[in-house]
Structure 1
Amino acid sequence: MGWMAATDTASRGPLSLVSRSTIATLLVLVGFLGVTGFALDRAYANAALAGLRARLQSYAYTYLAGIDVSSRSDRVIPPDSSQPNADFSRPGSGLYAVVVGQGGFRWETQSALGRDLPFDQLLAPGVTQFQGPVVTPAGPLFVLGQGVDWVLQGHKSYHLTVYIAQSDAPYRSALAAYRRTLFGWLGGLGLALLILQQILLRWSLAPLRRVAHDIVRIERGSAERLLGPYPREVSVLTHGLNRFIESEREHLKRYRNTLDDLAHSLKTPLAVARSRLESGDDAARVRQDLLEQVTHMDQIVAYQLARAKASGHSTFAPPIPIQAHAEAVVRSLERVYTARNILCEFDIDDSARFYGEEGDLLELLGNLLENAFKWANRRVLLCVTRVAPGDSRAWRAGLDIRVEDDGPGIPADKLEAVLQRGVRGDERVQGHGIGLAIVEDIVRSYHGVLHVDRSAELGGASFHISFAAM
C-alpha cells in the first residue's frame, strides 16, 4: 500500500505555479481575514458594551435627578411618572429600574413588576458597578448599579442605590447581525481577491505560456528560436535558451560537416588506391603509391578526429582556471623538446577563466604552444588576460590568450595559408599541418577571433585569441 501511495504521488508530479500560488494565497487570506474578523468582532462587542453601559448610566442619572429625600422623615420621594424610556413603563419590556435604600426601601418601574429582580444590595457611595449578563428570573441581564449618599440637613445622610438593568437579547441580536454582515463582507472580499488573483496570475504568467508555446513550435520545426518579445525578467531565460539552442545546432552542424568532410576527403585517396590496385603495374610501385595514399588518409582521419573533439561553445559551461592547465601542457612540451632548452614564460591573470570544455582549452593551449615550441629559438611567451565586460547586463567576462615566440615568424604571404587544413609553415618540419586549423575551428565555435601577426616583443610569430564578454 505504501509503494502504491508513493507511485501515485510521483505520477501526479509537482503542483503547477497557478496551484501553488492559489493555495498560498488562500492560506494567507484565510489567516488574514480570520484575524481581521476576530479583531473587528471584539472591537464591535467592546464598543457595544461600552455604549450599553453609557446608556444605562444616563438612565441612572435621570432617576437620581427625579428622586428626593425628606430631611424630617427620611422618606424617599420616588421619581414622577415621566420615564427616560417608554420601555420602563411596559411590563416585560426587558428594560428595568430599581431603587433601594436604607430601612428596606425599594421602588421599581412598571416593567419590573412581578419579575422578582434580585437587586437588594446597597452599594457604597460613589461606587458604580456594571456586570452581565447576570442570570435572573427575568432572564440574562446587563446590570448597572450606582451607589449614592444623599446628604440631609443636620449632617445626616441617606444611602441609595439605583439599579438599571437591560435584557441581553438586544445586545446579542445586534452582535449577531453585525457578525453576519462582517463575515459576509469578509467572505465576499476574500472571494473577490481570489478571483482577482487568478486574473492577475493569468496575465502575469502569459509570457511563460508564450515561451512554452514557442518551444513547442521549435520542437515541431515551425520556428528556429524564441522570438518574443518577452518581459525583462523572462528575457534572461529566453536568451539563455536561444544560446543553448544555437549551441546545440552548431554542435550538430559541426558533427555533420565533419562526417561529410571525412567522407569527401577519403573518397579521392580511396579512388586512387583502387585504381592503382586495378592498374596491373609493378608491385613495388603500387605498394609505394598505396603507402602514400594510406599516409594521406591517416592525416585526414587524424585531422577530422581532432576537429570532432572540439566540443565548441557551451552556454552553461563552468569557468575553468587557466594556470594549472597551461603548466601541464608546458611540462609535457618541455619533455618533448628537452634538447632545445626552450624557456616558456607565463603572464597569466589569476582571475582569467575559460568558459567551455576542458578538452577545448587543452586543445587550444596545446596546439598554440606546440607550434611556438617547434619554431622558437629560445623563448616562448604565454599571456592570458581577463577582459572585463563593458555592459552591466553581461553575465561573464571575456578572455584574451596570446602566444608569442622568438622564432623566424610567419611571412605575410603565408598568414592565411598557414591556417588552412593540411598546410604547414615549412614542409621540412614534421607534422600534419592541422593543429592551427583545429585552433581556428575551436575559436570560431566559441564565437572568438584568431589573429596572427608578428610579435613586437620577441620578433617571432604572435597568435592572439579573443573571446568577447557575454
Structure 2
Amino acid sequence: MMSLNRRVLLSAALVLLVFIAGITLTLDRAFYDSARIGVKDRLFARLLMLLGDTEVDESGELEIPTNLLDAEFGHVNSDIYAFVTGPANTILWRSTSSLNKPIPDITLLEKGKQEFEQITLDDEPYFIYRYSVAWETSSGDYPLIFNVMTATALLEAQIERYREDLWGWLGLMVVFLLATQMLVLRWGLLPLRTVSTELSAIESGRQENLKGRYPKELKLLTDSINSLITHEHKQQKRYRNGLADLAHSLKTPLAVLQGAIHGKNDEVARFETIQEQIDRMDNTIQYQLRRAA
C-alpha cells in the first residue's frame, strides 16, 4: 500500500495542478478579452480621427486631407488601414496603408450603428470596426460607412508572448509550491515517524513505552498504545507468577508420588496415596487455570 506521506503529497500536488491550470485558463481568457477590447478601442480612436478629418461637399464628394490623416494611415506597411464606402457599397476613399491590403464586401448598416467583429480574408484573420453615419449637407444627407481594419497578427503575437511568460512563471510557482508542500508535509508528519521509531525501539526491547511528546491528535493513540503495553506487561507478570505458583504447588505432590512408587507400603495404601496426590494436582491445576482466566 502507498505510504501516507506519498498519498498526501500526490493528493496535494493534484489539487495544486488543477488549481494552477484553472488560474492559467482564467488569466489567459481575461488577457485575451482585455487585448481584444484594446484593439477595439484603438480602431475606434482611429475611426474618430478619420471622422474629424473628413469633409463632404455639396455634391457628396469626400474630402480627406492627406496631411491631416493619422500617420498610421499614410504608410503602405502599416498594420492598420481604413476605407469609406457609399450607399451602393462603392469605395469612396481608402487610405494609403490599404493599397496592398484586402478589402472585404461590406454589408449595409443602419444609421448610427457601430459594429466590431473578426473576419477572414484570404485565409487571414482581421479585426474591423464599422460606423455608419448620414452626413448632413445643405443639399441632403449622404450615407457613409467608415471602416477601420487591422490584422490579428500583432494581437496573436502579443498573446503568444503573454502565454509564454505566464506558463513560465506559473511553472516556477508550481515547482516552488510543491517543494514547500513537501517540506510542510515532512514537518507535519514528523510525529508519525517518531511514533514509528519508538515502536521499533519497543519491539527490539530498547525502551518499554512511548515517551515522546505528541500533538493532541495523536495523544489518544499514543496513550492507548502505552496502556496496552502496560496491560500486556502486567498480564505477562501474572502468567509468570501463575506458572511459578503452579510449579511450586506441584513439587510436593510429585515428591509424594515419587516416594509412593519406591515405598514399601502394600498395594492398597500405595494406590490410595497415588490417587490422593493425583486429585491434589488436578485441583491445583484447575485453580491456577481459573486464576489465570
- The reply to whether TM is greater than 0.5 is yes
Instruction: Supply the RMSD in Å over aligned alpha carbons.
Output: 2.3
Q: Any gaps of 5 or more consecutive residues in structure 2?
A: none
Aligned partner of 2:114 in structure 1 is 128
1:94 aligns with 2:79: yes
Residue 62 of structure 1, aligned match among 34, 49, 55: 49
Map of 1:225 onto structure 2:
209
SS at match of 1:202: helix
User: Residue type of the partner of 1:53?
Assistant: K
8 Å contact from structure 1 (residues 122, 160) kept in 2: no
Contact 1:276 1:289 in 2 (8 A): yes
Alignment map for 1:27-46 (pairs within 5 Å): 27-46=14-33
Distance 2:91 2:157 in 1: 35
Q: What is residue 267 of structure 1 aligned with on the other side?
A: 251
Q: Residues 164-183 of structure 1, C-alpha deviation per residue, up to 9 Å, x if partnerless? A: 11111110011111111222
1:432 matched residue in structure 2? none
Q: TM (normalized to structure 2)? A: 0.90
Whether contact under 8 Å (1:83, 1:89) holds in the other structure is yes
Work out which of the residue numbers 49, 68, 71 in structure 1 matches 2:36.
49
Deviation at 1:105, TM superposition (A): 5.2
Q: Which amino acid aligns with 1:257?
A: N
The answer on whether the counterparts of 2:76 and 2:99 sit within 8 Å (CA) in structure 1 is yes
Query: Equivalents in 2 of 1:80, 1:192: separation in Å?
Result: 57
Q: 1:297 is matched with which residue?
A: 281
| Partner residue in 2 for 1:375 | none
Could you tell me which residue of structure 2 aligns to residue 15 of structure 1? 2
Distance, in Å, in 1 between the alignment partners of 2:133 and 2:222 is 84
Q: Is the 8 A contact 1:63 1:79 kept in 2?
A: no
Cα displacement string for residues 270-315 of structure 1 (whole angstroms, at most 9, x for unaligned residues): 223433554535666555555544443232122112123x1xxxxx
Q: Tell me what 1:391 maps to.
A: none
How far does residue 91 in structure 1 lie from its aligned partner after superposition? 0.8
Following TM superposition, the consecutive aligned residue runs of length 4 or more in structure 1 with deviations greater than 6 angstroms are: none
Q: Distance in 1 between matches of 2:64 and 2:182?
A: 69
CA shift in 2, pair 1:291/1:58, >3 Å: same
Q: Distance in 2 between matches of 1:109 and 1:291?
A: 132
* SS of 1:96 mapped into structure 2: strand
Question: 1:149–1:157: 8 Å Cα contact kept in structure 2?
Answer: yes
CA deviations on 1:66-111 (whole Å, 9 max, x unpaired) are 111113x222211441333x33222122110112235745222221
Change (3 A) 1:269 1:105: closer
TM-score by length of 1: 0.58
Query: Structure 1 residue 184: deviation in Å?
Result: 1.8
| 1:183-241 deviation per Cα after TM superposition (whole angstroms, max 9, x unaligned) | 22222222222111111111111111111111111111101111111111112111222
Q: Are the equivalent residues in 1 in contact too, given 2:102–2:121 (CA < 8 A)?
A: no
The answer for the alignment partner of 2:131 in structure 1 is 146
> Between Structure 1 and Structure 2, which shows a larger proportion of helix residues?
2
- Paired with 2:76 and 2:198, the residues of 1 have a C-alpha distance of 81
Paired with 2:274 and 2:104, the residues of 1 have a C-alpha distance of 131
Secondary structure of the equivalent of 2:207? coil
Q: Which blocks of at least 5 consecutive residues in structure 1 are unaligned? A: 1-13, 311-470
SS in 2 for 1:81: helix
